[in-house]
Chain A
Amino acid sequence: MAVIFDLVVQGAQMALVLVLAPLLTGIVRLVKARLMGRRGPSPIQPYRDLMRLLRKEAVLAENASWLFRVTPYVVFASIWVAASLVPTFATGLIFSWSADLIAIVALLGSARFFLALAGMDVGTSFGGIGSSREMMIASLAEPAMLMIVFAVALLAGSTQLSTVAAVLQQPEVGLRVTLALALVAMVIVAIAENARIPVDNPATHLELTMVHEAMVLEYSGRHLAMIEAGAFLKLLLYVSLIACVFLPFGLAPSGAGPAAYALALLVYLAKLLGGGVLLALFETSIAKMRVFRVPEYLGVALMLGLLGVMLLFVSRSL
């Protein structure tokens, strides 16, 4: 019975992230528009965009290979699985036992790997530029992310997010310098990974400045819908991850009653909203950086992660 209930919770989380992801992006866009004094699109516009893309014909380049066609689904599936591993409103996810934080990083990494390959597949110059820039950013973001994982895992004694969240919920963890450093590093990585300003501009129409958009420039129709949905999910994943590790309050433990789940869900929605508004605020207040500044920017994340790990070692040996 408990297993069935856990499965239901897991399934609910998987459905929840899928349903909420476009809304989060829609809210970010709406808040950004409002900050600029524009009316802005409705927050449900991303759903409409996805529906429109799904109805449209997918146009393929003549020399597109099978890789180009399967990549959107691979990308979407990897990100969705990764997103379903992050405790959103409840810990004790049944999938947590099979995959941990490192698996999430690996899943996202493989999604990116396929996308970069697909970007180069049809042989346009923009796809190649996008892929090379994306890999440059990834090669810096992934080590920083792993360093953050190490810092958090050392603190919590586990890389499983449900356990991490449960441990960090304990009052005796208290305020930790390591956690603060890891949080800043995590935000930096999240912004780079989600192709947000100042690393990339998700709203640009300028081919020469694109990173993520340049890779997917050749996609259309349902393929583009899959990639867009993947991007929405990825943003949600990072906001959920930050919320789960650094703001773990309000998460319902395994086997809690329906009322506790409902409350936890509300808390989660509030966290998402907060994350979306903060992201919009940050993006409005800064210009995009030159592509060669990105290593310095992500270097900060790596150093902060490293510092967090070192601090843990130093404080433990004392």
Chain B
Amino acid sequence: MAERASLKLIDTLVAAGGAPVASHRPWPRYVLDAAGWQKLVEGLGAAPHWALLDLWGEPDAVHAALYDESAQAIAVASLSCPDRRFPTLSAVRPAAGRMERAARDLFALDAHDAIDKRPWLDHGRWPVGGAHAKAPYNFLPVEGEGLHVIPVGPVHAGIIEPGHFRFTASGETVVRLEERLGYVHKGIEGLMAGKTPAEAARFAARVSGDSAVAHSLAFARAVEAALEAEPPPRAIWLRALMAELERIANHLGDFGAVCNDVAFTFIHAKCGELREHCLRAADQGFGHRLMMDCIVPGGVVRDLDPGAVGGLQALIAELKRDLPLLSQLYDAKASLQDRTVGTGRVTSDFVNRFAAGGFIGRATGRGFDARRHPGYAPYGDLAFDVPVLEDGDVNARVWIRIHEIEQSLKLLEQILAKLPAGPLAVELPARGGEGMAMVEGFRGEAICWVRLDAAGRVARARPRDPSWLQWPLLEAAILDNIVGDFPVCNKSFNCSYSGHDL
């Protein structure tokens, strides 16, 4: 095991003949040949501590972002494949499966030795879609005595995002859940291409509405990395302020929604009220409730309204007073605990294999937090804890959220106290480069990879929502639970449909 953990990602990529790309920042990118890619596949098989962060395509290349958890090193491996065929990573990293299927739908890149070659984002309804998606979709077969299938969605009884869930149940017990996503594919990656960074930032903010700040920030930092630009200190601190505000608002919403799904509406109503106060404070401070389009490459668009500082402090005080009451109520209600404790358990084996981040990872003992590793400014100057629990059930995911709100409140106080003065943005040069950034959003690490052409326009942008690595775990979490517990499990995951379907 010690020998395995010592297998270094960067060394392996270099040894596999990887040619480093000079303009890729801040982490290295290596272009591999077919033999080198094969070595990467073997290395992934031998090194369970290499996490697959993302896999995405370009018309003639495929890229995989990897994270060496023991050496805490990030690298991108690229394979140029003019014949549009590449060896699959899904055999060694199951999370790659859906990403490869998406790459086939969008770029006709064929992971030729993959087992699952069904379409993913392409539902056969695009005018420019692939022929492979025109055939009826085959759900995985389930065989057994007395099993029945319950198809749910994509149109639901409530107003939520569209996704299809196909349950196979034995009585009330779920024996298989298969997800079908892609209903909200908007072509964001394609729309970002050819735009200036400032224009593309508007698309990044709309990857997933609840993570507007996280994705804007990831995109902005990726562009800044590509151009070696450094935003002014005040912008960096304001960005952190927005990110923590967004985290608090979303965690409050989720906490309430989990309780609502087991029909304990009191906490839902109170959390809704607190979340509303967060959004109003954001609106007062930055002119938009979700702080959309406030962060742009180079800095931030607008300063914190001086009159809003008092509102933020009042919000912090209100949350510090009310959140403990709500969490105590949550903890004390036996009928509520009965529904959340032990429900929807994810094993640490699954979480590690899929490298799931956010509250899903941290509720199952995987303490990864992008604010710590790889870390980014200003979090190095701020004191905060990363709560980690081991149970991996709905209850643990609720508690991680509660603890993270507490930590974010501490962060908000520190940010407000230390907020430096100065300009809000720097001018960005119009030149080429490749950049990548990782930002801790409320769901987990939001990653953005971007390539700018010589004129400084976006040639290819790839925003990756943490949901890519979390959706598959939901299928595992619900197994052996009852059908009626799915909504609460789903809410405790709260994966993004929009951020995943792009």
Interface residues of A (CB under 8 A from B): 32, 35-38, 125-126, 128-129, 197-198, 201, 203-209, 217, 284-293
Contact = CB atoms under 8 A, between A and B. Distances in A.
Q: Is the interface of A mostly helix, strand, loop or mixed?
A: loop
A197 B264 CA distance: 9
A124 to B, nearest CB: 9
Interface stretch (B149-157, B213-221, B240-248): B149-157
Nearest to B151: A125
A217 B269 contact: no
A37 B259 CA distance: 16
**Interface hub of B259, B262, B268, B339 (most chain A Cβ within 10 A):** B262
Contacts, number: 82
Contacts of B172: 291-292
Contacts of B270: 36-37
Interface string B251-281: 0000000010111111011100100000000
A284 B266 contact: yes
Given A37-B269, A125-B150, A286-B335, 5 more contacts: A37-B270, A205-B157, A285-B266, A290-B339, A290-B482
B484 A208 contact: yes
Contacts of B273: 37
A287 B332 CA distance: 12
A284 B265 contact: yes
A125 B148 contact: yes
A288 B339 contact: yes
Nearest to B167: A208
A197 B263 contact: yes
A122 to B, nearest CB: 15
7 contacts: A206-B261, A208-B486, A284-B266, A287-B264, A288-B339, A290-B339, A290-B482
For the complex of A and B, the 5 pairs showing the least CB-CB separation, nearest first, are A205-B158, A36-B269, A288-B263, A287-B264, A201-B263
A292 B148 CA distance: 18
Given A125-B148, A209-B261, A284-B266, A289 B338 contact: yes
A291 B481 CA distance: 12
A206 B157 contact: yes
Given A207-B152, A292-B172, A36 B484 contact: no
A37 B274 CA distance: 12
Contacts of B152: 207-208
Contacts of A128: 148
A287 B329 CA distance: 12
A32 B157 contact: no
Nearest to B174: A208
Contact of A32 (B167, B265, B339, B483): B265
B333 interface: yes
A291 B149 CA distance: 19
B485 interface: yes
Contacts of A288: 262-264, 335, 339
Interface residues of B, number: 33
Nearest to B150: A125
Contacts of A293: 338
A195 to B, nearest CB: 11
Interface of B: 148-152, 156-159, 167, 172, 259, 261-266, 268-270, 273, 333, 335-336, 338-339, 482-487
Contacts of B482: 290-292
B484 A291 contact: yes
B269 A38 contact: yes
A35 B259 CA distance: 16
Contacts of A125: 148-151
Contacts of A204: 263
B487 A287 contact: no
**Interface hub of A129, A206, A284 (most chain B Cβ within 10 A):** A206
Contacts of B264: 286-288
**Interface hub of A198, A209, A287, A290 (most chain B Cβ within 10 A):** A287
B148 to A, nearest CB: 7
Contacts of A290: 338-339, 482, 484-485
A129 B483 contact: yes
Contacts of A38: 269
Contacts of A201: 263
A206 B266 contact: no
A88 B149 CA distance: 46
A284 B335 CA distance: 12
Contacts of A286: 264, 333, 335
A197 B336 CA distance: 12
A287 B259 contact: yes
Contacts of B158: 205-206
Given A38-B269, A204-B263, A206-B158, A287 B150 contact: no
A287 B217 CA distance: 38
A293 B482 CA distance: 12
A128 B483 CA distance: 13
Contacts of A208: 150, 152, 167, 483-484, 486-487
A212 to B, nearest CB: 13
Contact of A209 (B159, B266, B336, B484): B484
A32 to B, nearest CB: 7
A240 B490 CA distance: 40
Given A36-B266, A201-B263, A284-B266, A206 B487 contact: yes
Contact of B338 (A126, A203, A285, A287): A287
Contacts of A32: 265
Contact of A207 (B157, B333, B339): B157
A201 B336 CA distance: 14
A113 B149 CA distance: 24
A43 B151 CA distance: 37
B335 A209 contact: no
Contacts of B167: 208
Contacts of B333: 286-287
A38 B336 CA distance: 21
B157 A289 contact: no
B254 to A, nearest CB: 15
Contacts of B149: 125
B395 to A, nearest CB: 13
Contacts of B266: 35-36, 284-285
B274 to A, nearest CB: 11
A126 to B, nearest CB: 8
Nearest to B165: A208
B263 A287 contact: yes
Nearest to A33: B269
Contacts of B263: 197-198, 201, 203-204, 287-288
A171 B261 CA distance: 47
A15 to B, nearest CB: 34
Contact of B487 (A126, A209, A217, A285): A209
A304 B65 CA distance: 63
A285 B265 CA distance: 9
A125 B167 CA distance: 11
Contacts of A35: 266
A289 B487 contact: no
A206 B486 CA distance: 9
A129 B148 CA distance: 10
Nearest to A213: B157
